[in-house]
Structure 1
Amino acid sequence: MHLRAAAIVVAVRQHGEHGAIVRALTRNDGVQPGYVRGGRSRAMRPVLLQANVIQGEWRARTGEQLASLTAELIHSRAQMHGEPLAAGALEWATALTAAALPEAQPYPQIHDALDGVLGAIEAAPSARGWAAALVRYELLMLAELGFGLDLDRCVASGTADDLGFVSPKSGAAVSRGAAFGYEAKLLRLPTFLMVGGEADWPDIFDGLRLTGHFLARDILVDRRADPLAARDRLVDRLKRAVA
């Protein structure tokens, strides 16, 4: 096995005294794990940060063996790790990707969307500039893994107009008319998830509640549930920042 590709670092775990096991998302070959000799060294730690883009070269004698990985830095996002909101967003987006995606299966749309979200976090002067993009990324992750929400028309009446809620059971949209009297049992559907554009903070938090419900129920379950703690920390930081 020999692979050379640009990749986004999504997880780093110390292995032994000096090494690290790194998981990185390539565009055409999915998440690729590898062992980096000296990965905990002073020279390599700034390279192997979550959200950094590396040029990776994976080598293994067999497909079942953990590959040896050498990594060169293409683009660093180290400066964002010192900003609490940006750091929380990087931690969550990469942790979600690492936990949710199976290894060695290509998800080019997810790769491109993750790169876009990380770029938005890097470029935006405030969290409002990237928070909506993060919600859209979570929605894409659900869809790509087979748990997409049906937001085209009302599950009760069939209308495509005045959609305002989502059933927490079926993941299907519900119009405001059909939801009358049951609003407390449904999840709010923010407008920006249907028509795009900018979003205000109430809509962003509604979007986070919506995607968070289905991520926890359908993808981040059992041993993969640990990354949800990073999401909780991020949401708490966002609420404090806009309070």
Structure 2
Amino acid sequence: MEWRDEGILLSTRRHGETSAIIEVFTPEHGRHAGVVRGGTSRKIAPVLQPGAQLDVTWRARLEDHIGSFQVEPVRSRAAAALGDRLALAGLNAVTALLAFCLPEREPHKRLYLQSEQLLDLLDATEIWPLAYLRWEVSLLEEMGYALELAACAVTGQTDDLAYVSPKSGRAVSRGAAGDWVDRLLPLPDVLRGAGAAGDDEIAQAFVTTGHFLSAHLAQDLGNKPLPEARARFVDAFTRRL
């Protein structure tokens, strides 16, 4: 068995004396693991940094074997990330969430393209938090937890939408919230693609997307805790406010 693809390096861990096991996210083969022989060497180890764009060739005797990778660097994102604390936290959040929620060997081409585009914006510090928020919304949708924010779940009205139901992910208008208002999640305009998308609204939106990542997605994946990298990114962002 053999295939070649290009992908984003999600994680790497030592394997034996000189090798490494890496996970990459590719458009055609999804999240896929394999062994890199000599992966701990001075020549290859610097290439195997999370977020790196790699050209990979995977080989195995049988399809269900872990197999081995040959890797060639396409571009590194380390320089953009290491130069800024928020960018580094964001890169770690993206790769950790993808490694956490993607099923093995299942293509998600749309999410792959969105992830690649997001990581290529790492040095655009002013727009990156908004781009990351939109990526989280897309991640939820791709995993089957799409937010429905166009109309109120109770009345059907499309104006004065202020909240999100923590159970259904549907919008709720201010007037329809009633006695449930304290149990609802915030719906800032930025989540609906409207308004000025200020940092304070983005921080509010992270509360809502974070709820669905942890209380729905993570629970359905065996009640596993959400990667700490996501919380560290949100904390770094809110400290900037």
User: Scaled by the length of structure 2, what TM-score is found?
Assistant: 0.93
Are the equivalent residues in 2 in contact too, given 1:51–1:90 (CA < 8 A)?
yes
| Partner SS, residue 199 of structure 1 | coil
2: distance between equivalents of 1:17 and 1:234?
Answer: 33
Task: Give the 5 Å matches for 1:1-12.
Answer: 1-12=1-12
Structure 1 equivalent of residue 229 of structure 2: 230
For 1:189 and 1:174, the matched residues in 2 are separated by 9
How far the C-alpha of 1:145 sits from its partner, in A, is: 1.2
Choose the corresponding residue for 2:157, options 156, 159, 182.
159
Residues 36 and 69, structure 1, Cα contact 8 Å, conserved in 2: yes
Runs of 5+ in structure 1 lacking a partner? none
Task: Report the secondary structure of 1:156's partner residue.
Answer: coil
SS of 1:95's partner is helix
* Compared CA separation, residues 112 and 40, structure 1 to 2 (3 A): same
Partners of 2:193 and 2:163 in 1: CA distance: 15
Give the equivalent residue in structure 2 for 1:80: 80
Shift of 1:152: 2.0
Corresponding residue for residue 176 of structure 1: 174
Runs of 4+ in 1 over 6 A off after TM superposition: none
The aligned residue for residue 16 of structure 1 is 16
SS at match of 1:4: strand
Asked if 1:133 corresponds to 2:134, the answer is no
Show the counterpart of 1:61: 61
Give the CA deviation at 1:114: 0.4
The superposition leaves residues 164-210 of structure 1 with CA deviations (integer Å, 9 ceiling, x where unpaired) of 21011221110122125543321111212223575111111111111
Offset, 1:43: 1.3
Bigger mean CA offset, 189-198 vs 98-107: 189-198
SS state at 1:9 partner: strand
Partner of 2:201: 203
- The whole-number CA distance in structure 2 between the counterparts of 1:237 and 1:214 is 20
Q: Which amino acid aligns with 2:133?
A: V
Query: Are the counterparts in 2 of residues 121 and 129 from structure 1 also a CA contact under 8 Å?
Result: no
Give the distance between the partners of 1:179 and 1:207, measured in 2 at CA: 18
CA-atom RMSD in angstroms: 1.7
Shift of 1:226: 4.9
SS in 2 for 1:225: coil
Alignment-mate amino acid for residue 31 of structure 2: V
CA distance in 1, matches of 2:226, 2:200: 26
**Counterpart contact for 1:8–1:51, Cα < 8 Å:** yes
Distance 1:164 1:210 in 2: 12
Identity percentage of aligned residues: 38
Q: Aligned with 2:47: secondary structure?
A: coil
Does the Cα contact within 8 Å between 1:46 and 1:78 map onto a contact in 2? no
SS at match of 1:220: helix
Alignment gaps of 5+ in structure 2: none
| Residue among 207, 210, 213 paired with 1:212 | 210
What secondary structure does 1:46 align onto? helix
Partners of 1:197 and 1:20 in 2: CA distance: 46
Partner secondary structure for residue 152 of structure 1: strand
Per the alignment, residue 121 of structure 1 pairs with 122
Once the two structures are superposed, the pairs formed by residues 184-195 of structure 1 within 5 Å of their partners are 184-195=182-193
> What amino acid is the match of 1:149?
L
- Using the alignment, how far apart are the partners of 2:24 and 2:151 within structure 1? 37
